[in-house]
Amino acid sequence: MTQPIEDYALIGDLMTSGLVGCDGSIDWLCLPRFDSSACFTALLGDKENGHWRIAPAGAAEGERCTRRSYVDGTLVLESYWETPDGGAFKVIDFMPQRDSAPDVMRIVEGISGEVTVLSVLRLRFDYGHVVPWVRRSGDDRVAVAGPDSAWFRSQPPVRTWGEANSTRSEFTVTAGERVAFVLTWHPSHEPRPELVDPYAALEQTVSDWSEWSAQCTYEGPYREAVTRSLITLKALTYAPTGGIAAAATTSLPEELGGVRNWDYRYCWLRDSTLTLGSLLATGFQDEARAWRRWLLRAIAGDPADLQIMYGIAGERRIPEAELPWLRGYASSAPVRVGNAAVDQLQLDVYGEVLDSLYLARCAGIPMEKHAWRIQLALLDFLGDNWRRPDEGLWEVRGPRRHFVHSKVMAWVAADRAVRTLEADPTLPGDAERWRTMREEVHREVCEKGFDAERNTFTQYYGSSELDAATLLIPRVGFLPPDDPRVIGTVDAVRLELGRSGLVRRYSTEGPSVDGLPGDEGAFLACSFWLADALHLTGREKEARELFERLLSVRNDLGLLAEEYDAVAGRQLGNFPQAFSHIGLVNTALTLSAEVPGHPAAD
């Protein structure tokens, strides 16, 4: 049985994460990092590919808990179960911020009556491919296969036995009684890590998250949604480097049963501006600085070698491969790890990088001495290459084209360079060169990327297709919001790419620009962009209605995937998706008048 994507909850320790279903099963967990191979991979296969379920003994496969929620301001999940005979208990799932080894902790706490509870653990390393050798060590179990090892223990000890390549524990709890399970991963060649007290770890984890989320300075009408989205962004942050993974998963499909399945457990440069804006506007200066430092490390080197994405520690090599032993979520194959789009030419990222660094300066974050030299190198490369066709921000796997958004972001790069030099004439740089480039790009986009008959910007030069990315034109300051061309573009995108009130990235009907078969859902980040554009063009009521429609798409825990199928009422794509949550935060800020908009667009 395949649970809907929105049935999952996120837990994590700021280095990796797992997904817990409504049925009490952890079906996805990568150890020790976000982009490591998974030891629970039922999400992309079946239970034999690894999972860990805690539920009432006798609960049917797929039977759901009664209700669930996060402890306020935290990433600590509580799932409540009520049994027909009146008994009740809850399972508390969390991952404490680690000292060394990653721990997954699950505490079962009795609420009323007496309930028999069953834990079934199936460890499968290497994305569900390798069954480990399991042995007993005192009251614990240790599983080993190749480089991976995991220890499994309970406190207090309960009866545990092996059966059908699984480890089972059955026990009873009454009101107030607690049983904690701890699963700890470490490299198999190293000694066992020190034991951690799960009850003390729970208190510390609640305290850590509560203290962090209390820093949020947003006090508008959407505080609950904004705080949950910020917690989700924090949970996708790789603490040692400050990099933010685009999502916790790989290969969750953009169309059920389709082939549009990609690995998003990496850091995209494109997210940098929007992420920085969200963090800075809500009081998280430390995270913004860490993200900027990651960005500067990632882009250091030859500007011609700039990639659109990197590993969470800044790795450059992210080779794409398929895992044929996994059937895929809802039989959506192939399952992919790595991402071949890393080798694409996407010129817009130069603009996004320069825009994010400009935004950081405007927010008062001091600029490192070497940062401007890096930016000048990027500008020199872009100045010589902006006229080239590329694959565009949507990473199409069709031929290169002159995408309008890529050109607009080249304009942004030149514009931010000019503004920086005007603000600080002591900096080195040829401001006149960038003014000339800015004018040339602007003129070309308006001549070649605009359909005068339909009064809209198009997806690429000479195209009749539209692109939701053109909704960003007023946000970045390319044209003012009251320009008729902006208003026409917003209306055209809304009409032609709209789907049940939300927005697709581009049309997939007929011969698609991305070179792939099939369809996809409405893209949630683009739908937030539409709400922003409606607000900027003076349609406040419509913007707010759309935003609140988007809030209703969240699952019961406030989480969003990449896309949404409005007909089926299902979330689609990798989950939870940073881009979607960034869009939510920024739109909430815009509608609440918390921020005036991008400083370059004022």
Residue 251 has pLDDT above 60, yes or no: yes
Residue 70 clears pLDDT 70, i.e. is over it: yes
Instruction: Report residue 594's pLDDT band, with 50, 70 and 90 as the boundaries.
Output: low
**What top-level class would CATH report for the domain 5-201?**
mainly beta
Q: Which of 583, 564, 581 is closest to 573 using CA atoms? A: 564
Domain 223-591's class?
mainly alpha
Return the beta strands (E) in 74-196 as ranges: 77-82, 88-94, 103-112, 114-122, 133-137, 140-145, 148-155, 160-163, 166-174, 178-187
**What is the model's pLDDT at position 144?**
97
What is residue 596's predicted lDDT score, i.e. its pLDDT?
Answer: 47
**pLDDT tens figures, 531-579:** 999 999 999 999 999 999 999 999 999 999 999 999 899 999 999 999 9
* pLDDT greater at residue 587 or residue 296: 587
% of the chain with per-residue pLDDT over 90: 83
**Residue 602 banded pLDDT, cuts 50, 70, 90:** low
Give tens-digit pLDDT for 395-448. Answer: 888 899 999 999 999 999 999 999 999 999 999 999 999 999 999 999 999 999
What is the spatial distance between Cα 253 and Cα 89, in angstroms, rounded to a whole number? 34
Count CB-CB contacts under 10 A for residue 286: 12
- Cα–Cα distance between 415 and 96 in angstroms, integer? 44
**Confidence bin at 275 (pLDDT 50/70/90):** confident
What pLDDT digit, counting tens, does each position of 515-536 carry?
A: 777 788 999 999 999 999 999 9
Question: What is the per-residue pLDDT for 453?
Answer: 96
Inform me whether the pLDDT recorded for 109 exceeds 50.
yes
Same fold, 5-201 and 223-591: no
177-181, 274-278, 312-316: range with lowest mean pLDDT = 274-278
Residue 348 has pLDDT above 60, yes or no: yes
Instruction: Give yes or no for residue 598 having a pLDDT over 70.
Output: no
Looking at residues 150-158, what average pLDDT do you find?
95
Task: Report the first-to-last Cα separation within the chain, whole angstroms.
Answer: 51
Those residues whose C-beta lies under 8 Å from the C-beta of residue 138, and which sit 6 or more positions away, are none
Can you give the pLDDT at residue 437? 98
Q: For the residues 230-242, what does the mean pLDDT come to?
A: 95
The average pLDDT across 6-28 equals: 98
pTM of this prediction?
0.96
Q: Break the chain into its structural domains and give their ranges.
A: 5-201, 223-591
pLDDT of 139 higher than 80 = yes
Is the pLDDT score of 599 beyond 70? Answer: no
* Tokens 């194959």 -> residue: 333
What is the reported pLDDT for 511?
A: 62
Residue pair 512/398 in contact by the 8 Å Cβ criterion:
yes
The secondary structure of 346-378, three-state, reads CCHHHHHHHHHHHHHHHCCCCCCCCHHHHHHHH
d(CA 460, CA 480): 21
* E strand residue ranges, 37-102: 38-40, 51-56, 67-70, 77-82, 88-94
